[in-house]
Structure 1
Amino acid sequence: MHADNSHHLIAAAQRRHETTRAKATQALRDLDREGGAVTFQIVAQKAQVSRSWLYTQPDICAEIRRLRDVQRGSAGASLPASQRSTEASLLRRLEVANARVRDLTTENQRLRKQLEHVLGQLRASTMAR
């Protein structure tokens, strides 16, 4: 009678499954980081897996759909994740821009008063002649 070696087959299948999941997850990360288009076809090609297998993995399938929807929702070409602005960074940039506008407004008012003063002096010296 032969020994039961099915545990080796089960372990190999589990390793193959985990390797395939890791390749698909890495492909998603790479596409997101690079700003590449995210579709089931592109992820399948990049990860060297079948599209049908991607559809059987609920978490990977959901992530592909989420990234695809994010890209469709943005105007123009999508940006890599590393270049996307967070809400906090956008608010900070707005605060900095508002502070710059206030500074420029103050400087503009100061320069106008200075110009008024110089033009007044020039007019007074012209009339005195």
Structure 2
Amino acid sequence: MPADNAPHLIAAARRRHELTRSKAVQALRELEREGTAVTFESVAKAAGVSRSWLYSQPDLRADIQRLRERTRSTGRPTVPPVQQATDASLRQRLEEATARIRELRQENERLRRELAAALGEQRAQRRTDPQRRGSATIGPC
């Protein structure tokens, strides 16, 4: 009489199922972390599983649909929560940008004053130096 291999086959099937499941969960989390659009196709491709298998897993199916809806509602993949800017960091960036704008305005004012002074000196030089009275424009060749 042949040996009963059913328990070994069942155990192997369970291991294969758990391995496949862990690959799918890992792929789903990876896509979410990267901010990539989460669809059944993208998860299946990343995990190396079939889309029909994903549809047959109620919890994975719910996660994929939830993430897919989030992407659909904004029209683009969302930024993962770990990469989203906090209010404090946005406020800090705004303060730094405001300070930089203030510095650039001051520099522009300084450069305008220096340019006005240089142009004034140049004009005064032309009035006092008869050699430089000619046109600075180059004529046609």
TM over 0.5: yes
Contact 2:37–2:77 (8 Å) recurs in 1: no
For 2:42, the aligned partner's letter is I
Structure number with greater Rg is 2
Flag the structure with more relative contact order, 1 or 2, with Cα contacts below 8 A and sequence separation at least 6: 1
Q: TM-score, normalised by structure 2?
A: 0.59
Contact 2:27–2:43 (8 Å) recurs in 1: yes
Deviation at 1:82?
1.6
Q: Secondary structure at the match of 1:38?
A: coil
Deviation at 1:93?
6.6
Quick one: distance in 2 between partners of 1:74 and 1:57? 26
Q: Secondary structure at the match of 1:36?
A: coil
Q: Cα–Cα, structure 1 residues 2 and 40, in superposed 2: closer, same or farther, change >3 Å? A: same
Q: Could you list the runs of 5+ residues in structure 1 that have no partner in the other structure?
A: 101-129
For 2:10, the aligned partner's letter is I
Q: Cα–Cα, structure 1 residues 7 and 48, in superposed 2: closer, same or farther, change >3 Å? A: same
Q: Cα–Cα, structure 1 residues 68 and 76, in superposed 2: closer, same or farther, change >3 Å? A: closer
Aligned to 1:54: 54
Aligned residues, how many? Answer: 94
Aligned to 2:31: 31
Aligned Cα root-mean-square deviation (Å): 2.2
Quick one: distance in 1 between partners of 2:38 and 2:76? 15
Identity %: 56
Q: TM-score, normalised by structure 1?
A: 0.64
Which 4+ stretches in 1 moved above 6 angstroms? none
**More moved, 66-75 vs 49-58:** 66-75
